[in-house]
Amino acid sequence: MATEPSKSPSSLPDNSSTSADTPSLRPATQNDSAADEKRDGDARVPGTADTEKAGAGGAGGAAGGKPPPRSPITRRAAVVRQVFVGLVILAVLFGLQILVEGAPFVDSTRLWTFSHLQAILPETTPDRLSVVVLDSTKIPGGTLAHPKDRDELRRVIDDLKLVGATAVGIDVDMAPTVSGWASEKDPAFFSHCLEVSEKMPVFLGVSRGRENGSDHWLNMPEFTSLAAYIGAARSEDGIRFTRAQEHYEDSHGGRVLPSMAYALAQAWYKKHPDRTLPVPGPFLSEITEPLDEDKFGRLINFSKVGQLNREFMEGTGPNVIVGEPGRYRGKIVILGRAQPVKEGAMDAFIAPGWGWQPGVLYHASSAWTFGFEPVYEFNRTGRNVLDLMLGGVFLLAVGLRAHYTYEVADEKKGVWKFVEQYALLIAFLLVVVLAFVFMRFFQIMWLDALWVGIGLLLHYIIPQQVKEFWPKLMGENK
């Protein structure tokens, strides 16, 4: 009887070499069904297996000390954080500005800036100035031994009254000497000036007797109203001829002797009741600088020195003044030595932007500052408003940049950085132009424009550094 040959082990099917698509010859088990379901699930959800492997790798990395990467921040969060960084930078700059505001080097910087910006102010007015300098060089005298001829001075004053001058100041020290009257004709001359002052105020210069008390400024109490201080305003930094003071403050703190410039400006407005003294607006204040520890004087507007030099009058002889009444009618007239001076000469000073000038131009420029064209700056409120406006523009630019560079390719981010650099340059130029317009047309010295410019440069440097370490600090991968 024939029997079926037995199968050797080598002839049996090799399950280990069977592909996944080849049906298994062995019976299916429960475990096989679960595996099939898992494979089917993996096929339906692409990347699941890879994700699980990555998760396993991440878990292993976490166990090894590496934190898993954090998901990217949203566009809104990116904008908010960049604006917050901008606010921090603005707060630091604002705090530094307040911290150094009263430092001595800041006052020196302001004066340096003011001195170099004088040339930007308009140096010529359409009409002749309301302040006229009348040269006294041709009037005999001028020393203690030979004082200015009082008879000539009297005639000049009478001629000015005749042509309708508003007020007259004599830039000659008429205070008594240690031996009494500077001139034996002083009592009669002073009395005549008092009579003329009822119609045309006259002020006589006082310097050497400024500490003697009001009764002795011109040797007798009845002449006190004629006295006006013709010295320069003192200052704690030694820069004497850049400030104007309303009154001379003696060693006892008394403010009783008006300065020549202030007395003349006040007299002009009393004679012109339809006009009012210049008053700064709500966001402005007059520029002041220290005279002493707790005293301040106004910075002088020297922009009209050139026009004063061109318009000063040389002739004081008979019929010269009355021959040109239009030059003096309704004007402040200051009589003093107006000829060009040499460097270091007596009764001379350095006018910022103009070099050495005769001392009478110090009084003329001060009178112009007090009465007609003071120089302003932004007060604290005005500076805060400007800071808020510029800060708002800065934060807007930061926010827009963060918004539009979100999820942008690296090459496009480079373009935005290029745009940001030029935007900063344009902002800096706008600050310069704005400062020029303020000074040229409104006599507003924006002396803090320098700090604004520094702030723009800091914005160019600091934010990029912050942006580099900020994501790392927050543990972000974007």
Q: What are the tens digits of pLDDT across the range 180-192?
A: 999 999 999 999 9
Domain ranges in the chain are 75-102+378-474, 124-374
Whether the predicted model's global pTM rises above the 0.85 cut: no
Check: CB of residue 305 under 8 Å from CB of residue 361: yes
Q: What is the pLDDT of residue 478?
A: 44
Q: What is the pLDDT of residue 380?
A: 82
pLDDT category at 56 given cuts 50, 70, 90 is very low
Check: CB of residue 141 under 8 Å from CB of residue 186: no
Tell me the average pLDDT across 317-329. 90
Q: Exposure string (b/e) for 64-96, b if CB count within 10 Å is 16 or more?
A: eeeeeeeeebeeeebbebbbebbeebbeebeee
For residue 166, pLDDT beyond 90: yes
Q: What are the tens digits of pLDDT across the range 352-406?
A: 878 899 999 999 999 999 999 998 888 888 888 887 887 787 778 777 777 776 6
For residue 426, pLDDT beyond 60: yes
Can you tell me the distance from the alpha carbon of 271 to that of 70, in angstroms, rounded to the nearest whole number? 80
| Torsion sign across C-alpha atoms 236, 237, 240, 241 | negative
Q: For the chain, how far is it from start to end, CA to CA, in angstroms?
A: 84
User: What's the token pair of residue 418?
Assistant: 């290029």
Instruction: State the residue for tokens 């166990």.
Output: 63
Q: Could you give the 3-state DSSP secondary structure of residue 307?
A: helix
Q: What is the pLDDT of residue 312?
A: 86
Contacts of 335 (CB under 8 A, 6+ apart): 134, 136, 153, 156, 168, 169, 170, 171, 172, 316, 360
Q: Which of 152, 144, 159 is nearest to 189 (CA)?
A: 152
Instruction: State the residue for tokens 């031996």.
Output: 179
Q: What is the pLDDT of residue 15?
A: 45
Secondary element (H or E) of residue 433? helix 410-442
